[in-house]
């Protein structure tokens, strides 16, 4: 899954060029907008911040009230991000595809699976928790 952004980008370029050659500019623009949005959503570069697991663990407990382990392209992670809204900025987001230590941690609390979002609230890990629970803790922090 980490590589899906590349074929998505290549497919988008192909569709845009093909539509442009046929003289269909609106279709080319449409393909470009949708394809680039999907490419960004699947890419490892989207998201907030570049927090690393080792840095998060080294922080005092008061500074890591809510830590969210996520990965690009995860619909459950996107759902959580949308439901948290602006309050989600208070959480620390760690991309498990950019940090092998974070992926190992997620596997350790999920029976060997890289199930995301894995949210650590006050030191306790929850797998794909109800966004209302995470939001309540972020608002209280």
pLDDT in tens, 40-94: 777 665 655 578 899 999 999 888 899 999 998 888 998 998 899 889 989 999 9
CATH number of 53-140: 3.40.30.10
Q: Is 118 helix (H, G, I), strand (E, B) or coil?
A: strand
| The two three-digit tokens of residue 77, written as one number | 């992670």
Q: Are 135 and 84 in contact (CB under 8 A)?
A: yes
CA angle 37, 134, 95 (to 5 degrees): 45
- For 80-101, the pLDDT digits (tens) are 988 998 899 899 999 998 899 9
Domain spans, the chain: 5-42, 53-140
- For 24-44, the pLDDT digits (tens) are 999 999 999 999 888 877 766
Q: Are 136 and 129 in contact (CB under 8 A)?
A: no
Measured CA to CA, the distance from residue 133 to residue 20 in angstroms comes to 48
């Amino acid at each position: 899954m980490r590589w899906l952004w590349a074929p998505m980008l290549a497919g988008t370029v192909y569709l845009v060029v093909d539509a442009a050659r046929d003289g269909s500019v609106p279709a080319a623009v449409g393909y470009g907008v949708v394809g680039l949005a999907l490419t960004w959503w699947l890419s490892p570069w989207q998201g907030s911040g570049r927090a690393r697991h080792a840095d998060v663990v080294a922080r005092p407990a008061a500074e890591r009230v809510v830590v969210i382990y996520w990965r690009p392209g995860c619909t459950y992670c996107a759902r959580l991000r949308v439901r948290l809204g602006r309050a989600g900025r208070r959480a620390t987001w760690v991309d498990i595809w950019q940090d092998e230590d974070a992926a190992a941690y997620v596997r350790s609390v999920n029976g060997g699976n890289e199930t995301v979002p894995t949210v650590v609230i006050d030191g306790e890990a929850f797998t794909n928790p109800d966004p209302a629970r995470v939001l309540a803790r972020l608002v209280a922090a």
